[in-house]
Amino acid sequence: MKIQNYINGKFEDPIKGGYIDNYNPSIGEIYGQIPNSSKEDVEKAFEAAANAFPSWSNTTLATRSKILSKIAELIKGKLDFLAEAESKDNGKPISLAKAIDIPRAAANFQFYANAITQFSSEAHESVGLNAVNFTLRQPIGVVGCISPWNLPLYLFTWKIAPAIAAGNCVVAKPSEITPMTAYLLGEICNEAGLPKGVLNIVHGLGTSTGQAIVEHPNIKAISFTGGTKTGAHIARVAAPMFKKLSLELGGKNPNIIFADCDYEKMLETTVRSSFANQGQICLCGSRILVEEKIYEKFKKDFIKKVSKLKVGNPSEENTDIGALVSREHLEKVKSYIDIAEQENAKILFGGNKVEIKNFENGYYLQPTIIEVADNNCRLNQEEVFGPVVTIMSFKTDEEALYLANDVKYGLSATIWTNNLNRTMQFSKQLHTGIVWVNTWLMRDLRTPFGGAKDSGVGREGGFEALRFFTEPKNVCISYE
Please list the active-site residues: 248, 282
Contacts for 250 with CB less than 8 Å, ≥ 6 apart? 227, 228, 282, 383, 385, 409, 411, 454, 455
Provide the minimum distance between the beta carbon of 230 and ligand NDP in the complex, in angstroms, as a whole number.
3
Closer residue to ligand NDP (CB): 151 or 266: 151
Q: What b/e string do you get for 160-182 counting C-beta neighbours within 10 Å, with b at 16 or more?
A: bbbbbbbbbbbbbbbbbbbbbbb
Pairing of strands 346-349, 368-371: antiparallel
Contact 21, 5 (CB under 8 A): no
Q: Alpha-carbon distance 221 to 238, whole Å?
A: 9
Q: Alpha-carbon distance 315 to 301, whole Å?
A: 29
11, amino acid identity: F
Closer residue to ligand NDP (CB): 359 or 440: 440
Provide the minimum distance between the beta carbon of 179 and ligand NDP in the complex, in angstroms, as a whole number.
9
- Beta bridge mates, 199: 170
Interacting residues toward ligand NDP by CB under 6 A: 146-150, 155, 173, 175-177, 205-207, 210-211, 214, 225-227, 230, 233-234, 248-251, 282, 383, 385, 411, 451, 455-456
Provide the minimum distance between the beta carbon of 79 and ligand NDP in the complex, in angstroms, as a whole number.
22
Closer residue to ligand NDP (CB): 195 or 226: 226
Provide the minimum distance between the beta carbon of 66 and ligand NDP in the complex, in angstroms, as a whole number.
29
The DSSP line for 8-59 is TTEEE--TT--EEEEEETTTTEEEEEEE---HHHHHHHHHHHHHHHHHHHTS
Closer residue to ligand NDP (CB): 65 or 230: 230
- Beta bridge mates, 413: 435
Closer residue to ligand NDP (CB): 234 or 415: 234
CA distances from residue 258 to 207, 295, 376, 475 in whole angstroms, order as listed: 44, 10, 22, 52
DSSP percent split of the chain into helix, strand, coil, nearest 5: 40, 25, 35
- Beta bridge mates, 223: 145, 246
For residue 229, what is the enclosing H or E element? helix 228-238
**Angle 220-225-230 (CA atoms, 0-180°, nearest 5)?**
85
379, amino acid identity: L
Provide the minimum distance between the beta carbon of 319 and ligand NDP in the complex, in angstroms, as a whole number.
22
Closer residue to ligand NDP (CB): 28 or 410: 410
Provide the minimum distance between the beta carbon of 288 and ligand NDP in the complex, in angstroms, as a whole number.
18
Closer residue to ligand NDP (CB): 146 or 266: 146
Q: Which residue in the shown chain puts its C-beta closest to ligand NDP? A: 206
- Beta bridge mates, 124: 133
Dihedral in degrees, nearest 10, Cα atoms 219, 446, 165, 467: -40
Q: Alpha-carbon distance 53 to 58, whole Å?
A: 8
Closer residue to ligand NDP (CB): 233 or 327: 233
Provide the minimum distance between the beta carbon of 213 and ligand NDP in the complex, in angstroms, as a whole number.
6
Provide the minimum distance between the beta carbon of 248 and ligand NDP in the complex, in angstroms, as a whole number.
3
Give helix 61-77 / helix 152-165 axis angle, nearest 10°.
160
Give helix 61-77 / helix 79-90 axis angle, nearest 10°.
70
Closer residue to ligand NDP (CB): 167 or 210: 210
Provide the minimum distance between the beta carbon of 325 and ligand NDP in the complex, in angstroms, as a whole number.
8
